[in-house]
Structure 1
Amino acid sequence: MLERIKYILKNKYYLTSILFLIWMLFLDPNDIITQVRHLVRLNNINQDKEYYQEEIEKINKDLMELNSNKKQLEKFARENYLMKKDNEDIFIIVKEGEK
């Protein structure tokens, strides 16, 4: 076993190959650790992309519905923007712990 290690260390091709592998795996700017970090970041970005695409689809659906239905538009304005008619009063009831 010891003789084999000595042979590998004395052989310039083996030694060069080992040094090359060490360089590529740990010392290069594009080493394995960096590649794994990039893959994790890419997966997170793809998940965010899917989430935002779903949200865009929901918003577009709501927009189409609001543009086509006056009653739905009025309900949306009243609930989200607290709009009212001139002859109405609005009372907002907030439960304890909510803001």
Structure 2
Amino acid sequence: MSRINPVLNFISHNRYWIVIIIGGLLVGVIDDNSFLTRAQYSLQISELQEQIDKYNNQYEQDEQKLNELRRNPHAITKIARENYMMKANDEDIFVLSDDEKPEEENETAK
């Protein structure tokens, strides 16, 4: 019984501090609105904001291309030729490659 008296005495004198510390730990670490989850949500918000900015820039570029296609009929043929390798009926296309051919090993040199 003598071992329990100092513990009970400490608890009875500091019960408010103990409740405040336990409550702060519960709210700050374990709760759904804890500091950890708030930091994770903040990081997630910043990543989503970056994606929003990226998609807004892409939307503006696509809108400019679409306006160009609506104004200029030659832009359609330009895109068809560059992206889809299409050609007019009266023209020939020659594809030139700058790729280097791999050197083949010669069996007689060995």
Q: Assess same fold via TM > 0.5.
A: yes
Shift of 1:81: 1.4
Question: Could you tell me whether the CA contact under 8 Å between 1:66 and 1:73 is conserved in 2?
Answer: yes
Cα distance between partner residues in 2 of 1:9 and 1:29: 31
Shift of 1:33: 1.3
Alignment of 1:60-71 (within 5 A): 60-71=63-74
Cα distance between partner residues in 1 of 2:15 and 2:24: 14
Aligned to 1:14: 17
Aligned to 1:33: 36
Local SS of the residue matching 1:43: helix
| Higher alpha-carbon Rg | 2
Question: Could you tell me whether the CA contact under 8 Å between 1:25 and 1:32 is conserved in 2?
Answer: yes
Shift of 1:86: 1.6
Shift of 1:34: 1.4
Cα distance between partner residues in 1 of 2:30 and 2:47: 26
Tell me the number of residue pairs that the alignment of Structure 1 and Structure 2 aligns: 92
TM-score (norm 1): 0.78
Cα distance between partner residues in 1 of 2:31 and 2:25: 9
TM-score (norm 2): 0.71
Q: Percent identity?
A: 27
Q: Give the structure, 1 or 2, with the largest relative contact order (CA under 8 Å, sep 6 or more).
A: 1
Return 5+ residue gaps in structure 2 as ranges. 1-8, 101-110
Matching residue within 54, 58, 69 for 1:55: 58
After superposition, the CA RMSD in angstroms is 2.3
Aligned to 2:87: 84
Residue by residue over 1:13-36, the C-alpha shift from the partner in whole angstroms, topping out at 9 and shown as x without a partner, is 221111111111111133211111
